[in-house]
Chains A and B, each alone.
Chain A
Amino acid sequence: MPDDMQAVWLTVLLAGVTTLLLFPIASPLAWWLARSDSKGRSLVEAVVAMPLVLPPTVLGFYLLVMLNPESFVGGLWFNVTGESLTFSFSGLVIASVIYSLPFMVQPLHATFRAVPVPVLEAAATLGASPRDQWLNVVLPMAKRGYLTGGVLTFAHTVGEFGVVLMMGGNIPGETRVLSIAIYEHVETLNYQAAHSLALGLMCFSFLSLWLVYRYTGHRFEVVR
């Protein structure tokens, strides 16, 4: 059981770090997607949404190839830190950021699109710098988008399995997240422990989604 608590903690840590990293990564991307008329926009949208449709094994396989110590990126990391990116917590964070990117970008994209241009123009006329406009106009209007994006990203990362299996393995305290722990309990006939963790995850998923629907749901509008 202490191993399972370690898996719970590791999962929460991975999901937390991923969510925190995705706020600053996804915000400018979603803003650009919401405001740009560029021809390349649909291309970027498609790339961002790819983790939604790709089997996690595809993503896991390419990350394994790209991040292993023999590769350029993985080799660079290995030379600097002395640790491999594959089968490590840092590697899982990179994988989770890519894997959960659409879950953060899409709610933010929808929120930003709903921010009326005249409101921003009025703020500019009143002397607000772009930074002021972002902090005092856009952010307050987009808080529901951030809540949705944050909860969905966190929950999706908690449920990650295929990618971890491909490039994380099953190292206690490093890559043995909840879904892997459940898989191992089933493999080793420890159904009681598998039930406890699986039921916990079911409740957590339900609560996360209920939170999103309760506070955003059909009233998912930025400006009324």
Chain B
Amino acid sequence: MNGRSAHAGVLLPRLARTLCAGLLWACLSQGVESAEARIAVAANFRNTALVIAEALQRVSPHRYEIIAGSTGKLASQILNGAPYDIFMAADRDRPQQLVDRGAAVAGSQQIYAVGELGLWWPGVSGTPALTALANLEPRSVCIANPAFAPYGEAAWHSLARADISAVWREGILRVDNINLVTGLVAQGHVSAGFVARSSLISGVRNGSLKVNESEVLWLASDAALDQMMVLLTRGENNPAAQFWLDQMQTPSVRELIRRDGYRFPGEETDA
């Protein structure tokens, strides 16, 4: 009997504290409905999106899940019923296609970042040059697959403009997405690769990459990528998705995006 009352004595204040905390939370979050949203992001934006999700989860009751992949693959998944609420692409075309096919909400498109492509060629003597790539085996140069990755598509066009022969270009190594290119160059599996500026910056920041600025040729002038986001029809009535969309243009979120090497429409490149 004594044991039971002693137990109850400890339990009651604990219970009261829990109830008070719950009540306080309920008062503070009054009117804010907590929800979860799945954000499908282009591979190059993955690390930035994770940081943004963490920041937004701190200031709201919402929860966010980040699903990363190449833009083309994510768009195809969405058309096949993937349960995502927002799509953050690495181009303008795919979000527009989703709107045209009724999978995304018309008018919700916005450019959330302008990304930049670079040629990363570790160990090259002097500044990397596109034309000099032709001296390498095409198999030792890596790009994201142009068929479904916008950064790969931009790389492909840059090579074509540099008058590199079609035969050489056909032999180039194509992988699933831009993050994989960064990994393969970093690990020395290939000699050079077309990477996203953001992947290098976030990789250096978290210690997973060592990049010497002189090893990279930035291609801002002819390969800037307007990255567009769109609200998907599944997320139309999801407050968490709406909150994410609203926050994307706020100074604090823009600062997180800028920190990872992105620009915004109308801004000049500093490269």
Contact = CB atoms under 8 A, between A and B. Distances in A.
Interface in A156-175: 167, 169-174
Greatest chain B CB density within 10 A among A85, A172, A189 is at A189
B208 interface: yes
A146 interface: no
B81 A69 contact: yes
B90 to A, nearest CB: 15
Contacts of B198: none
Contacts of B80: 64, 68, 86-87, 167
Contacts, number: 60
Given A87-B83, A170-B69, A171-B67, A187 B77 contact: no
A186 interface: yes
Contacts of A173: 65
Contacts of A88: 83
B138 interface: no
A32 B32 CA distance: 59
Nearest to B203: A189
A169 B209 contact: no
A222 B257 CA distance: 65
A67 B80 CA distance: 9
Contacts of B77: 86-87, 169
Interface string B154-183: 000000000000000000000011011011
Interface size class of B (residues with CB under 8 A): 20 to 34
A83 B77 CA distance: 14
Secondary structure dominating the interface of B: mixed
A170 B83 contact: no
Given A187-B179, A188-B46, A68 B65 contact: no
Main secondary structure, interface of A, reads loop
B53 to A, nearest CB: 12
A153 interface: no
B38 interface: yes
Interface in B11-44: 38, 43
A172 B36 CA distance: 13
B83 A84 contact: yes
A186 B189 CA distance: 13
B186 interface: yes
B83 A83 contact: yes
Contacts of A171: 38, 65, 67, 82-83
A87 B46 contact: no
Interface of A: 64, 67-70, 74, 78, 83-88, 167, 169-174, 184, 186-190
CB-based closest 3 A-B pairs: A84-B81, A87-B82, A86-B81
30 contacts: A64-B80, A67-B81, A68-B80, A68-B81, A70-B81, A74-B81, A83-B83, A84-B83, A86-B77, A87-B77, A87-B80, A87-B81, A87-B82, A88-B83, A169-B67, A169-B69, A169-B77, A169-B82, A170-B68, A170-B69, A172-B67, A187-B176, A187-B179, A188-B179, A188-B183, A189-B179, A189-B182, A189-B203, A189-B209, A190-B208
Interface of B: 38, 43, 46-47, 65, 67-69, 77, 80-83, 176-177, 179-180, 182-183, 186, 203, 208-209
